[in-house]
């Protein structure tokens, strides 16, 4: 749709030098109303693009669906006669009359529609995917998948390369400097499976999960979810709901994120930078040749590792 970035005039000011008027590239942020069967479920602020994936991933995160076969179709329907501004936010319609800011999802026959209690009380912002939850109980959704039982392991040296691989593929971030990214990597081969960018970190993760939904790849066993920022409670929840066993972040996790990861059996890694990382939960999934060599030497000599 060509609406991922926009150009705006800015004043570039450097202390002690003349101000310069120039053009700058910004990441687009617009509301997306997600409807299911014509009924409004949520409004999120997102970067346009991969909207169907975003909606599919969102429905997994909320426990509405858990398999690709349960998601039948989706259509943008934000044109004239659809109710006007979304959540009080006016957005201009292009020449074809469709704002592409309303997406209506059709679930497969027999799939129970979302509980009305899931509906957001107000639209979520790009920094907080949990704003407007009807109750805290709705956050602690039970996953359809046993993350703790996933026996996958990942090589520590390979893991340290994921942030750079993620950053190298952030095409829109290179232009704007204003987007989060999430990607799935194969934990065995290290191959990048999919990467998505968005102004909201939770949206980027939903788009990645939605990619898996549309490809009927759930549960996402044997993969690592790498994110460009911090690891919040909601990102851990989304990973658990999609059956992802390992979540790695370049920044810090929150205390609640660690608690949820521990109770769910998810491996949570933070501060993954350079050759180091902090493993907060399930460190048995991260294998390091040096560590294993030290442990082996200790067992042969009868001494314990310091």
What is the pLDDT, as a whole number, of residue 14? Answer: 84
Neighbouring residues of 173: CB distance < 8 A, sequence distance ≥ 6: 167, 179, 181, 197
**212/59 Cα distance (integer angstroms):** 12
Assigned domain for 12 exists: no
What does pTM read for this prediction?
Answer: 0.82
The reply to whether 246 and 151 lie within a common domain is yes
CA distances from 191 to 134, 163, 186, 214, 222 (A): 39, 13, 5, 20, 12
CB 44 within 8 A of CB 123: yes
Assigned domain for 285 exists: yes
Which tokens in the block code for residue 161?
């390369």
Assigned domain for 301 exists: no
The reply to whether 165 and 222 lie within a common domain is yes
CB 219 within 8 A of CB 242: yes
What is the pLDDT, as a whole number, of residue 16? Answer: 87
User: Is the C-alpha dihedral spanning 36, 146, 166, 277 positive or negative?
Assistant: positive
Q: Using alpha carbons, select from 204, 230, 222, 246 the residue that is nearest to residue 61.
A: 204
The reply to whether 73 and 157 lie within a common domain is no
Catalytic residues: 128
What is the pLDDT, as a whole number, of residue 190? Answer: 97
Assigned domain for 305 exists: no
In degrees, rounded to 5, the angle at the alpha carbon of residue 197 between the alpha carbons of residues 29 and 253 is 100
The reply to whether 73 and 151 lie within a common domain is no
Of 75, 104, 138, the residue that ends a domain is 138
What is the pLDDT, as a whole number, of residue 82? Answer: 39
Assigned domain for 13 exists: no
The reply to whether 151 and 124 lie within a common domain is no
Domain count for the chain, please give it.
Answer: 2
Secondary-structure breakdown of the chain: helix, strand, coil percentages, each rounded to the nearest 5: 30, 30, 40
Assigned domain for 108 exists: yes
Helices (H), 11-111: 51-61
Which H or E run contains 51? helix 51-61
The reply to whether 85 and 182 lie within a common domain is no
Domain span at residue 50 reads: 30-138
The reply to whether 83 and 163 lie within a common domain is no
The CATH number for 110's domain is: 3.10.20.10
**85/109 Cα distance (integer angstroms):** 31
Which tokens in the block code for residue 92?
């201009």
**281/269 Cα distance (integer angstroms):** 8
What is the pLDDT, as a whole number, of residue 95? Answer: 47
Assigned domain for 23 exists: no
Of 138, 164, 184, the residue that ends a domain is 138
The segments of the chain whose pLDDT lies below 50 read 1, 80-95, 121-123, 125, 132-139, 174, 293-294, 300-306
Assigned domain for 276 exists: yes
The CATH number for 261's domain is: 3.40.140.10
The reply to whether 153 and 260 lie within a common domain is yes
């Amino acid at each position: 749709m060509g609406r991922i970035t926009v150009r705006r005039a800015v004043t570039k000011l450097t202390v002690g030098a003349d101000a310069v008027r120039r053009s700058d590239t910004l990441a687009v942020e617009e509301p997306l109303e997600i409807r299911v069967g014509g009924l409004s479920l949520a409004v999120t602020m997102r970067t346009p693009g991969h909207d169907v994936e975003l909606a599919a991933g969102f429905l997994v995160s909320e426990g509405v669906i858990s398999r690709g076969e349960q998601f039948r179709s989706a259509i943008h329907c934000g044109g004239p006669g659809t109710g006007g501004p979304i959540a009080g936010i006016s957005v201009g319609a292009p020449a074809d009359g469709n704002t592409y800011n309303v997406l209506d999802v059709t679930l497969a026959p027999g799939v129970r529609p979302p509980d009305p209690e899931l509906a957001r009380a107000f639209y979520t912002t790009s920094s907080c995917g949990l704003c407007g939850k009807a109750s805290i109980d709705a956050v602690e959704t039970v996953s359809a998948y046993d993350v703790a039982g996933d026996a996958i392991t990942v090589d520590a040296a390979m893991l340290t390369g994921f942030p750079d691989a993620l950053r190298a593929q952030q095409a829109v971030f290179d232009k704007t400097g204003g987007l989060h990214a999430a990607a799935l990597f194969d934990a065995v081969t290290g191959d990048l499976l999919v990467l998505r960018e968005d102004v909201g970190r939770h949206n980027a993760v939903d788009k990645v999960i939605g990619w898996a939904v549309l490809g009927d790849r759930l549960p996402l066993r044997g993969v690592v979810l790498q994110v460009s920022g911090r690891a919040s409670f909601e990102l851990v929840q989304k990973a658990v709901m999609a059956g992802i066993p390992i979540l790695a972040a370049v920044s810090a996790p929150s205390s609640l994120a660690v608690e949820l990861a521990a109770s769910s059996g998810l491996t949570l890694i933070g501060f993954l930078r350079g050759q180091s990382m902090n493993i907060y939960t399930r460190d048995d999934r991260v294998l390091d040749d040096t560590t294993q060599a030290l442990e082996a030497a200790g067992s042969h000599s009868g001494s314990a590792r310091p």
